[in-house]
Amino acid sequence: MKTGSNRYDVCIVGAGVCGANIARRLSAYDLDVVLVDKEVDVSFGVSKANSGIVHGGFHHSKKYLKARLEIQGAMMFERLRQELDFPFKRCGIVVAALHEDEMRAIEQLYMQGVDNGVIGIEMCSRERMLDLEPKLNPDVLGGLWVPGGGIVEPYRFVFSLVESAVKNGVQIMTGFKVAAAVRAGEEWTIRAADGRSIRAAYVVNAAGLFADEVSEVFGAEEFAIKPRKGEYYLLDRMTKARPNRVVFPVPTSVSKGLLVIPTVEGTVLIGPTAESVDDKCDLATTRDQLEKILSSARMMIPSISEYDVITSFAGLRPTLGEDFYIDMSQKVPNLVQVAGIESPGLTASPAIGEYVKDLLKKAGLKLREKVDYDPFVGKRLHVKDLSPYEVDELAAADPNYANMVCRCEKVSEAEIIEAVRAGHTTLDGIKYFTRAQMGRCQGGFCTYKIIKIIMRETGLSWQDITKNGGESQILKDAL
């Protein structure tokens, strides 16, 4: 166990869903593990903005590593949810064919699903499709039903994984941008941009969009991660167009198409687009794409209305080639590359944790199970899930439960305080942890209240409060 030095058995670069799963998996063993990220909080990279779907295992041939990890990962979610208490539901997936020629693609997806061993996959008639999802366009011709598909809140998944990893001894270093690395003897010395340094016997490069740059820092393989943008629109939870299942169109050669997703927390997402961009930080959304997304989503669910849109956002897929690149570096010692993890990376991530653990073991890392490993994290209370009677009882002991900070998503002051005390001190960190600012008013009512709570709990001044770290101060031009 850790002796207070800055020397670790394993350093994982990148606290997205891959790094977090790897860290948690390694936390079951008697190892000193550190998880570093350049951002001020975990899950601030690709893992914060995606469709949140636990995929069904039928989109890719199992000749690809990503398909095999997707199938294995998807099966691990029930157990993870029991242990980690994050929002997840196996609501099922329908793929809707609206043109005669799409039925051939449906048949191919079905055959691929059967070949991949997808449980319960079914080719459906028009009637069966409308029975499964009554909000579908009545002109649907048929489609596919995959009962094992699901939905998950991606950032809450990462937060829970990290909480569990920390509980079992993993150290987290945020604001640690890996900038230089040298190998001397049996270990790597890794330097951050701010001058901090750590040493580690093994390194895992799980740096998402920046895995190519981190590989270069270690003098390892040269490759280029190309960002592919996906824009989304979020519909209010009051929309009448919320389906019960995730609704997919027939996929294209570059993406799974524009979807209608009933999020696990009750809103609806439509999107994502698929557009290659040059800038790894380009998260802009555009009116043009909104029109495109709306018209495509309405083809599947005609009752979707522009008036239900409450916000837009974008995510960037870290694309590399046809498959995930997960392997020991062939160029430098003791470095695992976890790169090109685009969709279905969220679904596959628990299996990626297993896979990387096995690679490290083969590379000589000694794995001795920890006798006191505890896979469970405590259950969190959410006022929105409680009856008024239960809230009264809680408020008798802690009046902060009776103070509703976010009215749209029903988040109490007690929950905001809990988020801050868990280390989430930016507005986005609190948003992802509690859902405050995610509702109809998008923070119009609660942002200033949250700022005041952060200031009170942390001692930070108003100039220091940021949306997501760095230069994103909220009130910098206020005076």
Ligand X SMILES: Cc1cc2nc3c(=O)[nH]c(=O)nc-3n(C[C@H](O)[C@H](O)[C@H](O)COP(=O)(O)OP(=O)(O)OC[C@H]3O[C@@H](n4cnc5c(N)ncnc54)[C@H](O)[C@@H]3O)c2cc1C
Residue placing its CB nearer to ligand X in the complex, 179 or 395: 179
Instruction: Check residue 424 for interaction with ligand X (CB under 6 A).
Output: no
For the record, the structure tokens of 114 come out as 């059967």
Contact stretch for ligand X (CB under 6 A) within 75-83, 202-210, 300-308, 327-335 = 202-210
Least distance (Å) between residue 392 CB and ligand X:
39
User: Which two three-digit tokens encode residue 338?
Assistant: 């976890």
Cis status of the peptide bond prior to 344, with omega within 30 of 0: yes
Under the binding rule (CB under 6 A), the answer on residue 325 touching ligand X is no
User: Residue 121 in contact with residue 59, Cβ under 8 Å?
Assistant: no
Give 95's Cβ-side CA count (13 Å radius): 27
Segment interacting with ligand X (CB under 6 A) among 16-24, 91-99, 303-311, 327-335: 16-24
Nearest by Cα to 13 from 5, 22, 4: 22
Asked if 429 is part of the footprint of ligand X (rule: CB under 6 A), the reply reads: no
Report how far apart the first and last C-alpha atoms of the chain are (Å, whole number).
49
Residue 352 or 391 having the CB closest to ligand X: 352
16 is a site residue for ligand X (CB under 6 A): yes
Report the residue number, 215 or 447, with the smaller CB distance to ligand X: 215
**Closest residue to ligand X: CB criterion:** 345
Q: Which of 200, 241, 346, 454 binds ligand X (CB under 6 A)?
A: 346
Interactions with ligand X, residue window 138-177 (CB under 6 A): 176-177
DSSP string, 177-240: -EEEEEEETTEEEEEETTS-EEEEEEEEE--GGGHHHHHHHTT------EEEEEEEEEE-TT-T
Which residue among 76, 124, 207, 414 contacts ligand X (CB under 6 A)?
A: 207
User: Interface residues for ligand X in 257-296 (CB under 6 A)?
Assistant: 272
Alpha-carbon distance of 420 to 422, in angstroms, equals 5
Q: Which of 154, 42, 64, 149 is nearest to 340 (CA)?
A: 64
**Should residue 36 be labelled a site residue for ligand X when binding is judged by CB under 6 A?**
yes
Site membership for ligand X, residue 14 (CB under 6 A) = yes
Q: Under rule CB under 6 A, how many of the chain's residues touch ligand X?
A: 41
Q: Distance between CA 223 and CA 90 in Å, rounded?
A: 36
Say whether residue 178 binds ligand X (CB under 6 A): yes
- Quickly tell me which residue has 């997960």 as its tokens: 326
Residues 41-100 that bind ligand X (CB under 6 A): 44-47, 50-53, 55
Residue 132, CB-side half-sphere exposure with 13 Å CA sphere = 24
Can residue 408 be called a binding residue for ligand X (CB under 6 A)?
Answer: no
Residue type, 352: I
Q: How far is the CB of 171 from ligand X (least distance, A)?
A: 14
**Residue 55 a catalytic site member:** yes
Q: Catalytic amino acids?
A: 55
Task: Enumerate binding residues for ligand X (CB under 6 A).
Answer: 13-19, 36-39, 44-47, 50-53, 55, 176-178, 206-210, 214, 230, 272, 315-317, 341-347
